[in-house]
A = this chain, B = another copy of it.
Amino acid sequence: MNTAPEQKITIDWKPDKSDNRPMYRQIVDYMSEMIASGHWAIGSRLPSQRSLAQQFGVNRSTITTAMEELSSYGVLGGDFGRGTYVTSNTWSLMMSAAPPDWGTYIRSGSFKPNVPTIQAINKLEFVEGYIRLGTGELAPELFPKKAMEDVLGRLSSQIPSLNYLEPLGLPQLREALARRLQAQGIPATPSSILITSGSLQALQLISLCMLQPGSCVYTESPSYLKSLQVFQSAGMKLHGLPMDNHGLVYWNLPPSSLQQGRSLLYTIPTFHNPTGTLMTQKRREELFRFCQNNRLPIIEDDAYGELWFDETPPKPMKTMDRSGLILYLGTISKTLAPGMRIGWLVGPETVIERLGDVKMQIDYGASSLSQWALKEFLESGLYDLHLTRVRQQLKKRRDLALNALNTHFGDIATWNIPQGSFYIWLRLPARLSTDRLFTKALEKNLLINPGSIYDYEKNTALRLSYAYAAEDKLEQGIASLAQVVRSML
């Protein structure tokens, strides 16, 4: 109980009958304010309920209700009959002790946190001094600064305003993309294309719009998709299917296990992330036929298809699709600028319309500035010029990485020789713990992407990317990584 010297308080206030707050609420608010502002110091004694009732011109039960509420906050105490005291200053109380229980809130949502390794990577990528050997994006020096300057220069006079766009995205961009897709053999029209904030958002939209909880998404094992929580957070299950050198081993998926309307297949046929595998034309045809026969819709993620080195890869499966089986995902995140956050989803118009409607409800569309910039990149021809350069540079980097691997890892690891894109799947001895390797590598300022992030079962591989680190750092990093690995064997 309060032991401070007793202080009396004065009251020159009355409830306002024209105020539409109830009387008891006005009294709670008034007293809170007096206490919070310090006008009624801690230890002050309040008049009796009877005299307060008289002074305020209200029933005594109104005073009781108000005081009980204040008492429940811990700011009043004592015996309401004989003496009531200010026991705490709400403001100081609140400041020190009673913020909302955010811990409960942030553990409550359905969306799962990233796995700790990915959280660490997401942060450490922005700490200076690490050699990033796993990063799935182009090196800053491959960004076409000059072309972007040109594009921004041309744009300023074209942009009428940057208002909200229609649900599917900037029409001029969808037209430019449709022409590009058609030239590739994909019969896309502007109304079958939804512009998304990167392919990742396309997946998020599919998870929100197209599957019930408990549905299954089949993917290659390992798969980029496994590193995300997008489907699991919406209550879907991921199932990994094995791969061989020709791509996804679809015959390991028994048709009898497929539930109509509750299954999807996600695949990256061209330069698969994380293994770099290129699905052969034959496998594409077989897989497509298998899915068509089983009415299993496909999400074909073609993020890397334009990044071939010596010869163009087999065409996307979407080129075979006459019945609208495939939702095809394209993006500039791997070829030009992930920060622009632009991808596109091509599919049947009913699907596109539904996804577009929901996109309007979750973020009102992708950046129109980015959309204008990409439209100009495509139409000016600057994008294709840039692609030519990026292919050459990536091939050079691949060769550099392969040389370094031959020199430093020849006797302790195996790997694929990628025909395009960013990734080498570096298989290390089975006795190695890549979790420990992650930590040990950090000590040497090396940031790596352990294969376990992407896999359904334990593995001892790394996703090595030759796209990001500066060329000299890439060599140095591989050499240094080999030392760390050797020290652990």
**Which A residues fall within an 8 A CB radius of B?**
20-22, 25, 29, 32-33, 36, 69, 73, 90-91, 94-95, 98-106, 108-111, 113-114, 119, 122-123, 125-126, 137-138, 140, 143, 145, 148-149, 152-153, 155-157, 159-167, 197-198, 200-201, 204, 206-213, 215, 228-230, 233-234, 244, 249, 251, 255, 260-262, 285-286, 289-290, 292-293, 295-297, 322-325, 333, 336-342, 348, 350-351, 354, 357-358, 360-370, 373
Contacts and interface: CB of A to CB of B under 8 A. Distances in A.
Given A21-B251, A166-B126, A228 B361 contact: yes
Number of copies: 2
A58 B366 CA distance: 55
Given A159-B145, A293-B32, A367-B369, A105 B198 contact: no
B119 A357 contact: yes
B32 A113 contact: no
A102 B207 CA distance: 14
A63 to B, nearest CB: 16
The 4 closest A-B pairs by CB, nearest first: A339-B368, A367-B367, A162-B339, A162-B337
Nearest to A235: B110
Contacts of A157: 149
Contacts of A69: 255, 293
Given A166-B122, A341-B365, A22 B251 contact: yes
Contacts of A73: 293
B90 A293 contact: yes
A164 B73 CA distance: 46
The winner among A91, A109, A167 for most chain B CB atoms within 10 A is: A109
Given A102-B324, A109-B209, A338-B162, A156 B156 contact: no
A166 B125 contact: yes
A204 B201 CA distance: 13
A406 B439 CA distance: 72
Contacts of A21: 249, 251
B105 A210 contact: yes
B215 A363 contact: no
Contact of A198 (B166, B209, B364): B364
Contacts of A325: 99-100
30 contacts: A20-B244, A20-B249, A21-B249, A32-B293, A73-B293, A90-B289, A90-B293, A91-B322, A98-B292, A98-B295, A99-B325, A105-B261, A106-B351, A108-B210, A108-B212, A108-B215, A108-B262, A113-B358, A114-B357, A114-B361, A140-B163, A149-B156, A152-B155, A163-B337, A164-B338, A197-B364, A198-B363, A200-B361, A341-B367, A369-B370
